A and B are shown apart, each in its own frame.
Chain A
Amino acid sequence: MAQAAELELRGVSKRYAGQREPAIHGLSFTVPAGDVCVLVGPSGSGKTTALRLINRMIPTTSGDILLGGRSVLEREPKELRREIGYVIQQIGLFPHQTVGENIATVPRLLGWHKDRIHARVTELLELIDLDPAEMRERYPAQLSGGQRQRVGVARALAADPPLMLMDEPFGAIDPINRGRLQDEFLRLQAKVKKTVVFVTHDIDEAIKMGDRIAILREGGVLAQYDTPREILTHPADDFVAQFVGADRGLKRLALTTLAEVRLIEPDTMTREPSANGALRLPRETSVRDALSLMLTADGEPASVLDDEGNVEGLLTLALIEQMLSDEAAEAPHAGAGAGSSTVIEQTAEGGR
């Protein structure tokens, strides 16, 4: 089970009983094994519905859903759900069970041996940076919001599912801790490499978390399915353009670090850090942050430092402007697109 599995939706539609319009309409996309697909869209666009179709919490009206090449519609729902990690915004930890018992839920349902469950719980607690000795016997009421959310993720990971479904998992967390949990989840995902469908209504979170983003519009229609960079560079239509925001240029800059920019060669004279302007930035800085700092510093060019602290090159406002217009002119899927997923992870780890 440990291997991540590819998820494919084929023309999936859902109409709730007594509803005239479908909540999901002809949804098709494929999430490659081990990728994070973020489902994003305004409230009521059918994101939750889509997730619950995948683990068969609600019946599909038409279309097919394949997990690892096998239709979920022919699976026994309970058995299927035990094979799919499921995390919801309200977490839904069992208040009457300890952290350890909560995490052990699915392994117990699967009838694992006690020792194996114990070992697995320890492993997961360590994975989410909670001290097993201290946290295993605590009740959910004794945890902070962030800790609860992490336990929720650990519980979903317990039986090492090939697919994780996460419905606005950080929606109820304050912005500072949300950022921290996002970074943590990306680090975790780099280790466990699950196929993940991650729902949010926050486009910034989508850009940060997703290898690919599926934007839904009202009525559960797929507006665009692409990498974050492509969506920011070439929004499919006005709806997407408006949804990603007028600042999509800036958001795009956030996806690139200085390390990826073709900088202006510094004069040999100025290779000494001390000889340059006040602004000196490490190469992991995102272009967006660099721009912001340069604007605060009256548009002065910035020196980009390599890992040893030597000046690697110069960044000017004109160079950034050039980058933006070049990218916009590029054909879709060209240029830096291929490397975008790794870029996202680095950006995320850089902490936004």
Chain B
Amino acid sequence: MHEFLEAFRFIAHNGAIAGAPGLPTLTHLALETLRVAAIGLAISVVIAVPLGVWLGHIHRGSFAAINLGNIGRALPSLAVLAIGDAILGLGLTVVELALVVLAVPPIVTNAYLGVDGVDRDLVDAARGMGMSGFEIIRRVELPLAVGPLFAGIRTAAVFVVSTTTIASLAGFSGSLGDVIANETSYHFSGVLGAAICVAALALAVEGVLTLVQRVLTPRGLRLAEHERSGPLDPEAAIA
């Protein structure tokens, strides 16, 4: 456990290594990681949520929505980054592209499942009261689908944070992964310290998103819902 002590010392010194000046601080790298990840997640949410919600609203495209999620999971982050690198050359754009490719599928799938699964009687009742399609989405389907929708966003967030650090393996610099990928400069204690920071960062992101979800979930649903407790079923909507 000596290594862990050393690792915590490295964290306490904010990533400073004796005899190696000019290295970026851990705080800086953590913030950079968050920035890169947040951009990717934001773009993905902007693309995927409307798409999934719309598909769910019209109850179409279950096959595409579900299989997109499956294929998304099948893509190894490193392979996506590497192929992006091979074709386009690595840079922030390619990293963000990779993040979007990995984050869009789970969000689309879960948004689709969430909205598609809203009780049709409720939607009928809303229509009967004279709500327009958009009002139904905003006032009935979205609030009721918050659970699955956020399950998708949280899964995507895990992918995005993880992939941002993996980008360092492909040669992209500007995240905590840089430390892990560079044992030569940082020694194992630095690598371990950065790993601890990465784990903490990912858990913090998950925690914050859980809180956001709790705030956004209608109070009536909060009691009954076991967030994220449904089965993960790649064929849920097909069957």
Q: A–B direct touch, CB within 8 Å, in complex? A: no
Chain A residues in the interface with B (C-beta under 8 A): none
